Structure 1
Amino acid sequence: MYGLKTESSFDASHFLTDYHGKCENLHGHRWRVVAYLEVEHLQEEGTCKDMVVDFGEFKAELRALTERLDHHFIVEEGSLAPDTLTCLEREGFALFIVPFRTTAENLAKWFFDALAERGLPVAQVEVYETPNNCAYYREQR
């Protein structure tokens, strides 16, 4: 197998709905996202001959995704009252609403799926909330 790895980071806040501990409160992280691509065979022709994919394209796609979340409040859909969301938006807060609980595990899958949708042969995505703790997602083979 051949593979590539790149990473990007973003700053964002979140909280965990129905969690009983510190993380039920609004808090932020310097999130670090590490993505891995993997193929059995390298490309055979064109400008990307003997490559997994163009590294520039891979880096750009991951950075575009992390930019979407950078300096946003990541909110689980339905976790805040509509008037709370309206107030936050009126005050100019940048919200990123997702249809899942805002755990690192779910964000790893979100990044994985988004890279796969862009046609990249993604093998695994790691999402770090702290320098020492990460969640990852990969599909079973």
Structure 2
Amino acid sequence: MYGLKTESSFDASHFLTDYHGKCENLHGHRWRVVAYLEVERLQTEGTCKDMVVDFGDFKAAVRALTDKLDHHFIIEEGSLAPDTLACLEREGFALFTVPFRTTAENLAKWFFDELAAQGLPVSQVDVYETPNNCAFYRKDV
């Protein structure tokens, strides 16, 4: 098995809906995303001969996704009252709405799915909320 690994990071805020503890309050993280690609065989033709994929393309794909979230308030769809959301938008806050609870586990799956949709042979994505704590999502083997 051959593989590549790259990482990127972003700063963003979130809160956990229906959670009872510190994370129910708005807070932020320096999120770190580590993505892994795996293939059984290297490419056999063209400029990517003997490669998993072009490292530059892989890094750019991960960076583009983290850039979408950088310095945004990540919000679970339906978790804020419409007038609260309207106020945040009116004040110019950068919002990124997702259809899931904003846990590190769900963000790992979001990154995985986004990379897979680009045709990358993604095998696992780790999402760190802190330097010591991460969640991951990996391909079902």
- Using the alignment, how far apart are the partners of 1:25 and 1:48 within structure 2? 47
**DSSP-derived class of the 2:47 partner:** coil
Aligned to 1:102: 102
Does residue 63 in structure 1 map to residue 63 in structure 2? yes
Q: How many residues align?
A: 141
C-alpha RMSD over aligned residues: 0.3
Shift of 1:119: 0.5
| 1:83 aligned counterpart, secondary structure | helix
Which residue identity lines up with residue 4 of structure 1 in the other structure?
L
Q: How much does 1:139 deviate?
A: 2.0
Q: Where does structure 2 lack aligned partners over 5 or more consecutive residues?
A: none
Deviation, 1:77, is: 0.2
1:1-141 maps to which residues of 2 (within 5 A)? Answer: 1-141=1-141
AA aligned to 1:61 is A
Distance 2:135 2:62 in 1: 17
- The Cα of 1:116 is off from its aligned counterpart by 0.2
Moved >3 Å (runs of 4+): none
SS in 1 for 2:92: coil
Give the TM-score, by structure 2 length. 1.00
TM (norm. structure 1) is 1.00
Whether the 8 Å CA contact 2:72–2:96 is kept in 1: the answer is: yes
